[in-house]
């Protein structure tokens, strides 16, 4: 009897493990959701990868937890929120992703409150996510930190039936990733997956260009470079390219490229986007990583 129970338990564990893995046996699209603080956050961190994912068959959604209504030197409130929501919608169309949703929480006031955590849990469930991308909870902006914490706090709860019971739980915990940042304390970003994005750098640039209020007004103002922004739309895009795209790759990111593409192929890339596998959620196998990022090695 004891042997039967052990065998049954082992079979149950094995079956659960297989069920938890991403289905690699057919062409069912993976469902990917990136959750962040402000309209334009994910565009700058993973715009090209998102476009590539969508092009390769994944169903990709961007979700901003605030409406961005504080991010401007002259405009604000509901008027700015409407502008930023429209910019986000246009950026989503340019990137070719399925949906770009903007929650109506105030910019610069985001907290990891329970009711917002429940909204994040519902959003992940409603998207039936296989993959969730978020921000790390160490960052210069409190909204970024708290957006990261909200995703972390939701990472296990999405499978718990009695949490947010009005929305059915996911049968399996998704794979969670962090989008890249430059902060080193308490620990630096780990370039676990690095995607070469040269083929879609123009698409990323077009997505960023859609965020007019940010790329050409607010961010230059905060950097005291507003007087450098050209009036001509084409010249603006070139200016944006130099400001946001023309950054050198770090040694760590280059090493990540070589891991996935080989040294010869990696040396051809000028641009890349990196992702860290979160210790929360489910840890993916290498086979799953190649399903999530089907452009790796290409």
pLDDT in tens, 268-292: 999 999 999 999 889 999 999 999 9
- Residue 196: exposure state from Cβ atoms within 10 A (0-12, 13-18, ≥19): buried
17: in domain: no
**Number of structural domains found in the chain:** 1
Question: Which residue, 131, 111, 141, is CA-closest to 35?
Answer: 131
Cβ 36 vs Cβ 63: under 8 Å = yes
20: in domain: no
Output 256 or 10, whichever has higher pLDDT. Answer: 256
Q: Is the pTM for the entire model greater than 0.75?
A: yes
59: in domain: yes
Residue 90 has pLDDT above 50, yes or no: yes
298: in domain: no
pLDDT in tens, 43-73: 999 999 999 999 999 999 999 999 999 999 9
Percent of the chain with pLDDT over 90: 87
pLDDT in tens, 197-239: 999 999 999 999 999 999 999 999 999 999 999 999 999 999 9
- What per-residue confidence (pLDDT) applies to 4? 40
C-alpha angle 257-262-266 in degrees, rounded to nearest 5: 45
14: in domain: no
Specify the 3-state DSSP secondary structure of 64.
Answer: strand
Looking up residue 263, the CATH number of its domain turns out to be 3.40.50.10320
Q: Which domain holds residue 168?
A: 29-292
């Amino acid at each position: 009897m004891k042997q039967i129970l052990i065998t049954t338990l082992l079979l149950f564990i094995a079956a659960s493990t297989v069920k938890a893995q991403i289905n690699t046996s057919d062409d069912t699209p993976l469902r990917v959701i990136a959750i962040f603080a402000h309209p334009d956050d994910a565009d700058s961190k993973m715009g090209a990868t998102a476009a590539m994912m969508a092009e390769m068959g994944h169903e990709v959604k961007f979700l901003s937890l605030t409406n961005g209504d504080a991010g401007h030197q002259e405009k604000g409130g509901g008027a700015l929120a409407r502008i930023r929501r429209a910019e986000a919608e246009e950026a989503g169309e340019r990137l070719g992703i399925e949906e770009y949703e903007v929650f109506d929480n105030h910019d610069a006031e985001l907290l990891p409150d329970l009711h917002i955590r429940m909204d994040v849990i519902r959003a992940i469930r409603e998207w039936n996510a296989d993959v969730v991308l978020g921000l790390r909870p160490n960052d210069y902006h409190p909204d970024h930190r708290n957006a990261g914490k909200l995703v972390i706090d939701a990472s296990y709860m999405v499978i718990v039936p009695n949490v947010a019971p009005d929305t059915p739980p996911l049968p399996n915990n998704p794979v969670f990733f962090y989008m890249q940042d430059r902060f080193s304390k308490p620990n630096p970003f780990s370039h676990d997956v690095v995607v070469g994005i040269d083929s879609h750098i123009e698409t990323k640039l077009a997505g960023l260009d859609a965020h007019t209020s940010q790329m050409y007004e607010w961010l230059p103002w905060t950097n005291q470079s507003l007087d450098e922004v050209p009036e001509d739309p084409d010249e603006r895009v070139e200016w944006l390219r130099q400001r946001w795209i023309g950054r050198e790759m770090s040694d760590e990111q280059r090493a990540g490229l070589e891991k996935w593409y080989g040294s010869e192929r990696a040396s051809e890339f000028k641009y890349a986007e990196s992702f860290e596998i979160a210790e929360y959620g489910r840890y993916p196998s290498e086979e799953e990583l190649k399903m999530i990022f089907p452009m790796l090695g290409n």
